[in-house]
Amino acid sequence: MGNEQTISEPLRSSGEKGVHSKIDWINEAESKLVSALILREAAKEKSLELKQITSSRRASSQDVFNLLQPRESANKSSFLLLGYAIELLLKSGVVSLLIYAPKHLLERKVQNYSHNLLRISDDLHIKLNKAERGLLTKLSSFIVNETRYPVTVNSIQEYCEKTNKITAQLSSEKLFELGVGIYENIKSVIQDIDGTEQNPKLYNKVDIDSDGYVTFRVGGSLPPILIIKYSGNQVTFGKNNLSDLKLLIEHNYTNCIQSHLMLKSWDYADIYLVCEKKGLTKLSR
C-alpha cells in the first residue's frame, strides 16, 4: 500500500530529493564537469612534458609511452565525463517538464531517454546549431561506446584507422571547448525553465473520473506542456482522443488563469500521453 502511494505521488516543484530533485541533478552535472575540466588540464600538462622531452632528443620510446598513455586516458575520460555532465543537466530539465505528473513517470522517462542527448535537448526546445547537434550525437556515442570499450573492428587496418580517428577527436581542444559551451548554453536555459519575473510558471491539474488526469504547465523557457492519462471510462467509450478531451475540459471550465491558458494553448502545446507499457510518449502533431 505504501509503495503504491509513493508511485502515484505527484512530483512537486520544490522540496524533492534525489532523482526527483532538479537541484540534485544539476549538482551531479556540475561535479562531472569539474572532473572533466581537471582531466583536460592533466592531459595538457602531459602534452607539455611530451613536447619538452621530445625536443631534447634524449627521450626513449618508453619515456614517450609513459606520457602518451596518461594523456590519452585523460583526454578520453574528460570527454566521457563531459558527456555525462551534459546528460545530467538535460535530465534536470526533464524534472521541470514533468512537474505534477506521478513520480514513477519521471523515473521511466529518464531511463527511456538513455544517453540520447539530442532527443532530450529537442524535447526541452534547446536551440543548437548544426555543429552543436553533431557534437551531442557524438557525445552520446562516446558515452555508450568509444570512451568506455575497445573499438569493434574486423581487421588490423580498420583498427588503426578507427583508433587514430577516435584519438584525434578526443585530443581536439576545439571540440572539447564546444562541448563546454553547449553545457553553459543548456545551463542558462535550465535556469529560466521554471519561470522568470517576466514569464512566470503556472501549473494546473484536472482529474478525470477516478483514474485519469491532465496536467498543464506554462511559462519559463518551455512551451506549454500537457500530460494526459485517459481514464478507464474514456478508453471504454472511445473518448480517449484530444477532441473529446478538449470538449470535456471546456464543459468543466473554471474561471481561473490556468484553465484559460490551458485551453488557449491546447493546439500548440507539447503533449505527452501516459501509456502503461511505454510510460510517457510525446504525441506527434
Cα–Cα dist 206/187, whole Å: 31
- Average pLDDT of the residues in 159-188: 96
**pLDDT digits 0-9 by tens, 124-168:** 999 999 999 999 999 999 999 999 999 898 999 999 999 999 999
Measured CA angle at 90 (ends 87, 96), to 5 deg: 145
At 54 the pLDDT is: 81
Looking at residue 12, its pLDDT comes to: 85
Ranking 1-15, 200-214, 215-229, 268-282 by mean pLDDT, the lowest is 1-15
The C-alpha atoms of residue 143 and residue 118 are separated, in whole angstroms, by: 13
Q: Name residue 111's amino acid.
A: Q
Q: Which H, E and C letters describe 190-204, residue by residue?
A: HHHCCCCCCCCCEEE
Which set of grid coordinates corresponds to residue 210? 477516478
Query: How far, in Å, CA of 196 to CA of 262, rounded?
Result: 19
Kind of pairing, strands 270-275 and 202-208?
Answer: unpaired
- Band of the pLDDT at 285, cuts 50, 70, 90? low
Cα distance between residue 105 and residue 18, in whole Å: 15
**Which of 22-26, 106-110, 257-261 has the largest mean confidence?**
22-26
Give the lowest-confidence range in 118-122, 160-164, 202-206: 202-206
- End-to-end CA gap in the chain: 38
- pLDDT at position 6 is 44
Please give the pLDDT value at position 112: 93
Task: Cite the DSSP H helix spans in the chain.
Answer: 2-8, 22-55, 61-97, 103-113, 117-123, 130-141, 156-171, 173-192, 232-236, 242-251, 257-264
pLDDT tens for 52-87 read: 888 876 777 887 778 889 999 999 999 999 999 999
| Predicted model pTM | 0.91
- Contact between 242 and 256 under an 8 Å Cβ cutoff? The reply is no
